Amino acid sequence: MFRLPTLAIITGLAAICASILFSSNNPAVFINIPGLAIIIGGISTALFFSYSANDIKTALNKVRMLFNDVQIDKEQTMKHINNIAQLWSRNDLRGIEDKLEKLDNRFLQTGIQHVIDRRPNEEIISVLSWKIQQLRNSEYRISRIFHSMAMFAPAFGMVGTLLGLVNMMFLIDDQSSASIASHLAIALVTTFYGLVLANLLFKPIAIKLERRTDKMIEWMGIMMEGIMMIEQRKSPAFIKQMMTMLDPYQQSDISNELASRQVKPALNAR
């Protein structure tokens, strides 16, 4: 079964392809190898001039995970924080250290380690804020690559258009309609390719990556608040309640649940 986003993408692409098929007597005119070569070659050249090979490789690897939601096990993280808060309230440092060894969340591990080392409050906040900023910079650097590709694609589409028009001008005197049509096709189709790639592929990828990053950063901020409440020796129940209140997505789920509870009595009354 297809999920809703995947189904929407497939439906949208199908609608575009159907529009192309029904808008032309010969849909093959939209397939132009020289025009496509200008776009791909231009984008690739500009990209490798602008970014390092490692950044480009990382960006391509990110695309593979594009259609997967950010896997954040919030419930499990809250359980870890509550357990650590209970151990910290009992001054069970050995139990906390054993717990930290089993954690696979490096951000939480770093924060709790600073707490049990009795680092100053300002230092803990500074370290955790730096790690959040480091993640933000790393992830947004990748999304900027796709924003750049979205900028390069129409630009090289215009290069192909100018190239086709210049070549066409030299053929007007020869009155070769076939040659003129060939160069006019390159002139028009390269602009088409550039706009489609920019607005249907590169920009959506950049926006999707930025939204994934925003979700991770929001959750890391909530975890930092939980860590600081542990440092202040707040109760586990209070920490869980506050983290739930701070999570905007959790609040959305709660609101939907309350709305459904209100709808059911109304339906039963009918």
43-98 pLDDT, tens digit per residue, is: 999 999 999 889 888 888 888 777 665 566 788 888 899 999 999 988 888 898 88
Compute the distance between CA of residue 11 and CA of residue 27 in angstroms, rounded to an integer: 19
What is the distance, to the nearest Å, from the Cα of residue 149 to the centroid of all Cα atoms in its chain? 15
The number of domains in the chain is: 1
Can you give the residue range of the structural domain that contains 153?
32-51+82-246
Q: Alpha-carbon Rg of the chain, whole angstroms? A: 27
Contacts of 50 (CB under 8 A, 6+ apart): 148
Give 189-229 as a DSSP string: HHHHHHHHHIIIIIHHHHHHHHHHHHHHHHHHHHHHHHHHH
Whether residue 192 is contained in a domain is answered as yes
Task: Answer left, alpha or beta for residue 118, where phi above 0 means left and psi between -120 and 50 means alpha.
Answer: left
Whether residue 73 is contained in a domain is answered as no
Whether residue 269 is contained in a domain is answered as no
Signed CA dihedral, 256, 260, 261, 263: sign only: positive
Compute the distance between CA of residue 149 and CA of residue 198 in angstroms, rounded to an integer: 7
Whether residue 124 is contained in a domain is answered as yes
Whether residue 37 is contained in a domain is answered as yes
Quote the pLDDT of residue 270.
45
Whether residue 23 is contained in a domain is answered as no
Residue 126 identity (one-letter amino acid): S
Whether residue 7 is contained in a domain is answered as no
Whether residue 114 is contained in a domain is answered as yes
**pTM score over 0.85:** no
Of 1-5, 84-88, 176-180, give the range with the top mean pLDDT.
84-88
Compute the distance between CA of residue 147 and CA of residue 154 in angstroms, rounded to an integer: 12
